[in-house]
Amino acid sequence: MTIVRTPGYVMTEHHFTVPLNHRTPTGETITVFAREVADPDGRDRPYLVYLQGGPGQESPRPTKYPATPGWLERALRDYRILLLDQRGTGLSTPVQTPLAGTAAEQAEYLTHFRADSIVADAEHIRAQLGGQPWSVLGQSFGGFTTLAYLSTAPEGLREAFFTGGLPPIATHPDEIYRTTYEKMALRSRMYFERYPGDAERVRKIHRRLADDDVRLPNGDRLTGRRFRQLGHLLGMSDGAERLHYLLERDVDATAFRYDALALTPFDGRNPLYAVIHESSYADGFATRWSAERTLPTEFEDDVELFTGEHVYSWMFDEYQDLRPWKDTANLVADHEWPALYDAEVLAKNEVPTAAVIYADDPYVEREFSLDTAAQVRGLRPWLTNEFEHNGLRSSGGIILDRLINLARGSA
């Protein structure tokens, strides 16, 4: 344990040893890192555990000036924060290239990196830090993990907050991905309403990419289907502008190619995000490349439609950083995942719970979220179109403050 004092914060760095498979606690172990952040006068406040989006992304690294993430200052008024580097990310034992073993051994290893294992890690850590129930804030995939927490270990929770991450229960991934494509079609049309001149730019880029071998700075070919994955930006508050400023440049400009590479969400730094992404929606199912199988004909025919947070098998050929994971990813796609959520437990929930649901979220469909909210006893939902999927970050403390008040019955 290391204590670091920075302007405005006291940060305690924890390294915990946890079982790779919590069902066999005497077997292989890994390390999970957590950074405790406290106001200098608030080191005895109750814990709020932050569960990051992803899957496969590390927790944010806080700085005081400007405060990042923006919600942290509001949280520190009531809590000390535990920023958890979920297993496989950040300073926890990493999942990186190369991963030891055969493809089958790698796939089996990765079955222990879903939300249920993250919850088990959190409970292990809670016991090490005194065992008192704590509050949890789940952003996006972190919300999926929070629902698994409410399902399997509600006794560990004092409060639960969801931001853009209230997932469907016992719903096949195919049904989920069909709705995300509908939302991405809407988002694409909204984008061209804002920037009508970009429609011809996009068509021109697709013609060029079909006719010529256009290479990104890392040597990968920029194909049309890879280019349209930049639509993942469109669910964020600044996403349309970031995409537009890219399209202002000519495809032959060096800056265009560097920016296009940088804006792609899938890379070798974080292979876990691509390899196990679909498993986030696998509540008792195998995915078998669900997003690929459910791609609508409309998207195949209309190059103006961007895709979003969708993973495809072809990526493990076209992305050189992902090629070493191809056989493993195919095995993970065929894995029959156990259920994540327990509807009977959720129907008896006693943990004060609140969730913000973003009305036009292209990553987590609001109708599924509203249906889940109705199944969790006592959960207070807040449906809004004022914020996008990154509302927790972009709103400063507004969203977290509202959720705290909702869960405590004061809003």
Is the predicted pLDDT of residue 130 greater than 80, yes or no?
yes
Residues 220 and 255 occupy one common structural domain = yes
Residues 233 and 354 occupy one common structural domain = no
- pLDDT score of 268: 82
Nearest by Cα to 399 from 365, 360, 390: 390
Residue 32's CB: how many other CB atoms inside 10 A?
A: 25
Q: For residue 301, what pLDDT band results from cuts at 50, 70 and 90? A: confident
Which residues, in sequence order, are bridge partners of residue 94? 88
Mean pLDDT, residues 168-194 taken together: 97
Distance from C-alpha of 35 to C-alpha of 15, rounded to nearest angstrom: 9
Is the predicted pLDDT of residue 67 greater than 70, yes or no?
no
pTM of the predicted protein model = 0.96
Contact 330, 359 (CB under 8 A): no
Residues 99 and 244 occupy one common structural domain = no
Where is the domain boundary, 298, 317, 334? 334
Residues 16 and 139 occupy one common structural domain = yes
Is the predicted pLDDT of residue 404 greater than 80, yes or no?
yes
- pLDDT score of 306: 97
Where is the domain boundary, 307, 334, 361? 334
- pLDDT score of 411: 75
Distance from C-alpha of 158 to C-alpha of 49, rounded to nearest angstrom: 11
Q: For residue 70, what pLDDT band results from cuts at 50, 70 and 90? A: confident
Spatial strand order of the sheet with 380-384 comes to: 2-6, 9-19, 29-38, 80-85, 47-51, 134-139, 157-163, 353-358, 380-384
Total number of domains in the chain: 2
Mean pLDDT, residues 87-91 taken together: 96
Residues 188 and 77 occupy one common structural domain = no
Mean pLDDT, residues 334-360 taken together: 97
Give residue 163's domain range: 2-170+340-407
Q: At what angle do helices 366-375 and 173-194 cross, to 10 degrees?
A: 130
Residues 6+ apart with CB under 8 A from 88: 56, 94, 95, 113, 272
CA dihedral 354, 360, 364, 369 (to 10 degrees): 40
Is the predicted pLDDT of residue 65 greater than 80, yes or no?
no
Nearest by Cα to 206 from 285, 303, 138: 303
Nearest by Cα to 107 from 318, 269, 272, 284: 272
% residues pLDDT > 70 (the chain): 100
Residues 129 and 21 occupy one common structural domain = yes
Is the predicted pLDDT of residue 230 greater than 90, yes or no?
yes
Is the predicted pLDDT of residue 111 greater than 90, yes or no?
yes
Residues 11 and 52 occupy one common structural domain = yes
Residues 159 and 43 occupy one common structural domain = yes
Mean pLDDT, residues 342-346 taken together: 98
Where is the domain boundary, 277, 307, 334? 334
Is the predicted pLDDT of residue 305 greater than 80, yes or no?
yes
**CATH number for the domain including 387?**
3.40.50.1820
* Helix, strand, coil percentages for the chain (3-state, nearest 5): 40, 15, 40
Residues 309 and 354 occupy one common structural domain = no
Residues 19 and 101 occupy one common structural domain = yes
Distance from C-alpha of 311 to C-alpha of 114, rounded to nearest angstrom: 16
Residues 302 and 375 occupy one common structural domain = no
SS3 of residue 237 by DSSP: coil
Q: For residue 360, what pLDDT band results from cuts at 50, 70 and 90? A: very high
- pLDDT score of 63: 86
Is the predicted pLDDT of residue 336 greater than 70, yes or no?
yes
Residues 253 and 397 occupy one common structural domain = no
